[in-house]
Amino acid sequence: MNVYDSELVGSLLEECDYTLTQDMSEADAVFLNTCAIREKAEETVHNRLDNLHVLKRTKPNMILGVLGCMAQNLKDDILESRPYVDVILGPDSYRRIPEIIKARQGEMDNFVDTRLSKFEVYDDLFPSRHDGVNAWISIMRGCDKFCTFCIVPFTRGRERSRSIQSVVDETINAVSQGFVEITLLGQNVNSYRTPDGEFPELLKAVAKVEGVKRIRYTSPHPQDIDDALLEVMRDHSNICNYIHLPLQAGSDRILKRMNRTYTQQEFLDLVDKIYEYMPNCSISTDIIVGFPGETEDEFLETLDVVKKVHFDSSFMFKYSSRPGTKAAEYTDQISEDDKQNRLERLIVLQRKNTLSANLRHVGNTLSVMVEKVSKKSDSQWAGRTDGNMWVVFDKTDEQIKDIVNVKIEDAKGITLFGSRIHTEELIHEAA
């Protein structure tokens, strides 16, 4: 979402005749687009601001801005501790950038706007994208779920969705610029609703756009995955059979305390339902260990669900307390040592699961979209499967953005290795 928002800000700056530079010391304006979801992300921004202060001393006219969730959440703190920051804009205020740039030429003081909007979805703005395979498209903003550990509802405001037509228009625009994969984004992507339809209708409309080879979306909430969505995914070959399904915790008591609105059994039933519709669907997840009050037995329940579901991959985190959220006020916080110990045990289990999930593909032929030259060798490509797994294979006559068949021969860590199969070879094998 932040990459997408940065691309939106990039297009607003281009309207003011700015161009992108890769060299910070050349920049006339630097905007840090920030995330507040974890403490570590905030620390990174503070360190970056300290470094930029040194640059700003040598270039006093350089505009330095902080955008996004931290701007929303910590504006007073930033204004007080880093008065050299010129601009602070929350996630609903990016449209003000041209006006600020203009006013800046008349040397104004700090500019702060962190009002949250009930309506802003940047419907009519197209982001400034650069070369690549995948175009991110934000379809909704904000979140109404209020998980007790999460700062997003406070920094991003209430849920609101763009029109289906504007998402389709942006998809057509992205395809015309050469992008072949579309990833639909939202804090709660499948809470998307408009008078013209909900998320399944939107997916159908995007799948029909000519030239879209693959569609992904992130992040859904398990509560909003229903039969209509799974049917659309099953019935459209360009919608990837891949779901990121955040579990967060395996114990019912902790799930309730997190306000996740599902039980362990409901989550497991949903996984079964996904496989009924798409037997080869890949499923990844997010897990938080050491949520306040989590006992050793409750953590073991999380491990148990991980064993049962056998996620293809997981994003695993230690609980990070976010001031302002309900969970930050719980008095039974878990020690750093226990959180670290639980995280390490979870990672060991997930690594095993990922490897065995990947090994089950050895001998199979998978569709792979060629995305880039492999980091290890110029004579090899790296691409992703429909299920979001990376595959490395020797180059033959294919190009970046082609979808080709690759026979999987090995799996190491999180990567699959194979060889390109040309159509004739496939026909021969089938014969």
Buried b (16+ CB within 10 A) or exposed e, 345-374: ebeeebeebbeebbeebeeebbbbbbbeeb
Rounded Cα gap, residues 394 and 378, in angstroms: 9
Q: CB of 144: closest distance to ligand SF4 in angstroms? A: 8
Q: CB of 361: closest distance to ligand SF4 in angstroms? A: 30
Give start and end residues of each alpha helix (H) in 132-226: 152-156, 164-176, 199-207
Rounded Cα gap, residues 56 and 82, in angstroms: 12
Nearer to ligand SF4, 192 or 381 (CB): 192
How many secondary structure helices (H) and strands (E) does the chain include?
Answer: 13, 19
Nearer to ligand SF4, 226 or 402 (CB): 226
Nearer to ligand SF4, 84 or 146 (CB): 146
Q: Is 123 exposed, middle or buried (0-12, 13-18, 19+ CB in 10 A)?
A: middle
Of 267, 167, 166, nearest in space to 223 by CA = 267
Task: Look up tokens 């330095």; give the residue.
Answer: 64
Q: CB of 370: closest distance to ligand SF4 in angstroms? A: 32
Asked if 225 and 264 count as a contact pair (C-beta separation under 8 A), the reply is no
Rounded Cα gap, residues 128 and 293, in angstroms: 45
Task: Look up tokens 């519709």; give the residue.
Answer: 277
Q: CB of 124: closest distance to ligand SF4 in angstroms? A: 25
Residues that bind ligand SF4 (CB under 6 A): 143, 145-147, 150, 152-153, 187-188, 221
Nearer to ligand SF4, 45 or 147 (CB): 147
Q: CB of 37: closest distance to ligand SF4 in angstroms? A: 8
Q: CB of 31: closest distance to ligand SF4 in angstroms? A: 23
Nearer to ligand SF4, 33 or 191 (CB): 191
Nearer to ligand SF4, 153 or 387 (CB): 153
Q: CB of 129: closest distance to ligand SF4 in angstroms? A: 24
Q: CB of 88: closest distance to ligand SF4 in angstroms? A: 22
What is the Cα 72 distance to its own chain's centre?
A: 20
Residue by residue, DSSP assigns 201-221 as HHHHHHHTSTT--EEEEE---
Rounded Cα gap, residues 260 and 146, in angstroms: 9
